[in-house]
Structure 1
Amino acid sequence: MKLSKVIAQNIVEEMMSVVPYNINVMNEEGVIIGSGDSSRIGNIHGGAVEAIRKKALNIIYDERKGVKPGVNEPIIIDGKVIGVIGITGYSDEVKKFIKLVRVTAVLLIEQAEANEKNQNINLKRERFFYDLVNRKIPYDEKILKIAEDCGFNISKKHRAILAFISNVSKEIFQLRKKYIFNYELNTNKIVFFIADDYKCNSLINELKLCRDVEKIGIGEKEEIFAISLENTRKVIEIGEKIKPNSKIYNYGELKFFIHLYHKNKDQVTNLISNIDKSEYKIELIQTIQIYVEENGQINDAALRLNIHRNTLNYRLERIKKLTGKDPKNFFQLFELFCGLIWKE
């Protein structure tokens, strides 16, 4: 590894808070890259050059050109000299500090290296998950290798669980920490990569109970993860139109409606457009939605809408007059239902 100027100065500042002498840190060529005396940075330190040559402690007793009295000890990691730590002062006074300073310097360097390694790992994971949520073609050897490095078993079919969140709370943070394979699509959308059915059910239950989660889309297991993710988006889009009060939308349950295709969609969407022109459009559309959710049960739908059953019958009759379709007729209700799905 290479000793950077940032790490070198961090070592200086950390150690000078406890050691009452000036400290210098030199690179592998003996150039001062960190110092309590900023005027010395960039200069060649003769004592450090000698310590590098000998790979051992070098003590300077007398001041001479470009070198002050002090002790200089090489920083050796994995058998290689990566720099030198130096304390300015008369040898008998500063010698007792050099071992402490060197050990601390090594610990700080190793910590910085570990942090950089973790950052690189996290960056690699982020790039991998970005590819995973966008790639809709079969995986090649390159992505298989990256998946292996990230500890992600890409050979298994994975299910996308898409959560729409209102706030990045501590609870959301803990969920992301617990179910580690996840990716933040944007500030209010997080997708989880789940292969295990038990974990899938556990995650869904926890998301359901989380107050900061507004909607949950559940995809099916797919060999290409981006396909499962695309399906979660579709199921939420359709689900919000036909079951707006639900929090969870399962692709497997609404697949039929997602796959619906009609050559003359305009004719069907015009049914809902007729309702849109009415001054009671909001309550009438809500009436259709709740009526469908309650499987056409008048009493249950009226209870959900908090109205009398006679009021519900009046609304259904009004929908019939506006659209020409009777919600109490299964096939005509289905047309209205499709109109809701295709409504822009």
Structure 2
Amino acid sequence: MKLDKTIAQQIVNRTMKIIAKSVNVMDENGIIIASGDPSRLQQRHTGAVLALREKRTIEIDALLAKQWNYEAQPGINLPIHYLGHTFGVVGISGVPDEVRRYAELVKMTAELIVEQNVLLEQERWQRRYKEEFLLQLIQGKADAQAVKQAALFALDANRPYVVVIIKLLKSSMESLRELVGYLELSRLDLHLAVSALDEIVILQSAESAACGTHVLSAQLLPSSINPQQLKVAFGCPMSGLDGIAVSYRTALSTLNYGCRIAPKKQTYRYQEYKLPALLDGLSDWQLVEISRVLQPLYATDEKRVLYKTLQTYFLSNCDPARSAKKLFIHSNTLRYRLSKIEQLTQLSFNKIDEKFILYLATLLKT
């Protein structure tokens, strides 16, 4: 344990607000590293050296200061302890009889500041380690030690989780920091990691996700964050640490497709877009080949009436009555258009594989 200049200066600043006396902080070698009197910085403090060596409070009056050739000024010097170790000294300048009543208060304040900084550093380290671990999981890089690592972060390896992706459309370090802070303070059962400047990945328990518990609440979001500038995608619930990577891929595919088909929506769920999400990884030639079946429709129908009819027909679960109602046309007109589509594409609605190709084409075109 070592005192750095930043923490030492915090001790000086805070204690001098409490008492109207100059305060010095010395490191483990008795060198002044922070002081209410900047001219004393980097000087060796004889009283601090003695306090460290004998591990006790050293009081210096005017006579003793003179005997030491003013290598230390009158005051009281107290060793600072943490977890049983002495790692520095805090000194209060002044006549000992006048500053003695402040001594223990200043010592306690110094030790509390040190403890707070140690705990914050430990928390930062744990958060960073956990974040790296979560990123390994979503990338499918879990190793033999993953179960033990998961236990360190209260992550149940046998519990089903859903990966949630939050995409910031207009991202900045400040907005990202505020959003992470909001999520960490929420009482939801989740684990999170920042995967990019504009992306946060969350592990949410499948139970919470199934109950509809949303990771974001527009009413509670920081005022600097516009809910309309966020996209949220829920992946497929999966059990086991290996399943987390799969859930992430389904969430990413759902996000990609959802942003294309429904750009005004904020939330997308894998269950709503299961098939197109599964098709998200098709190669370029496959996408081109599937989409090519619609080219005859575009070539003869500039207003895309036939394509809109086909799309509505599939969105209506191939129900003719519902399709005609949505299109505001007579059922006979619908039958005519579907027959025309069959003629142009040379694919039949009565053959399941050809009908499925038409359906895929409408999905991928969107």
TM-score range normalised by the length of the shorter chain: 0.7 to 0.9
Which of 243, 248, 252 is the equivalent residue of 2:269? 248
Partner of 2:246: 227
Secondary structure of the structure 2 residue equivalent to 1:250: coil
| Partners of 2:254 and 2:274 within 8 A in 1 | no
1:255-266 aligned at under 5 Å gives the runs: 258=279, 266=288
Q: Identify which range, 320-329 or 288-297, moves more after superposition.
A: 320-329
Partner of 1:336: 358
Say if 1:255 and 1:323 are closer, same or farther in 2 by CA, change over 3 A.
closer
- The answer on 1:206 being equivalent to 2:214 is yes
Q: Identify which range, 232-241 or 111-120, moves more after superposition.
A: 232-241
Which of 146, 149, 159 is the equivalent residue of 1:146? 149
Which of 169, 185, 190 is the equivalent residue of 1:180? 190
1:35-50 aligned at under 5 Å gives the runs: 35-50=35-50
Query: Structure 1: 5+ residue runs without aligned partners?
Result: none
| Partners of 1:22 and 1:35 within 8 A in 2 | yes
Q: CA shift at 1:299, angstroms? A: 4.1
| Partners of 1:16 and 1:22 within 8 A in 2 | yes
Which of 54, 59, 78 is the equivalent residue of 2:83? 78
Query: Structure 2: 5+ residue runs without aligned partners?
Result: 219-226
Q: CA shift at 1:314, angstroms? A: 6.9
Q: CA shift at 1:56, angstroms? A: 1.1
Post-superposition CA distance 1:252-289 (Å, at most 9, x none): 953896499999765532123444555334x6545433
Say if 1:44 and 1:123 are closer, same or farther in 2 by CA, change over 3 A.
same
Q: CA shift at 1:110, angstroms? A: 0.7
Partner of 1:216: 233
Identity value in percent: 26
Q: CA shift at 1:190, angstroms? A: 3.9
One-letter amino acid of the counterpart of residue 59, structure 1:
E
Post-superposition CA distance 1:130-188 (Å, at most 9, x none): 1111125x6312x3332222121234454434455658799996566313223343455
| Partners of 1:165 and 1:214 within 8 A in 2 | yes
One-letter amino acid of the counterpart of residue 234, structure 1:
S
Post-superposition CA distance 1:57-86 (Å, at most 9, x none): 111112333211111111122222111010
- The answer on 1:97 being equivalent to 2:119 is no
Hey, what's the Cα distance between the residues in 2 that align with 1:308 and 1:231?
37
Q: TM-score scaled to structure 1, two decimals?
A: 0.80
Hey, what's the Cα distance between the residues in 1 that align with 2:351 and 2:194?
44
How many residues get paired? 338
| Partners of 2:233 and 2:252 within 8 A in 1 | no
CA RMSD for the aligned pairs? 3.9
Which of 193, 201, 205 is the equivalent residue of 2:203? 193
Q: TM-score scaled to structure 2, two decimals?
A: 0.76
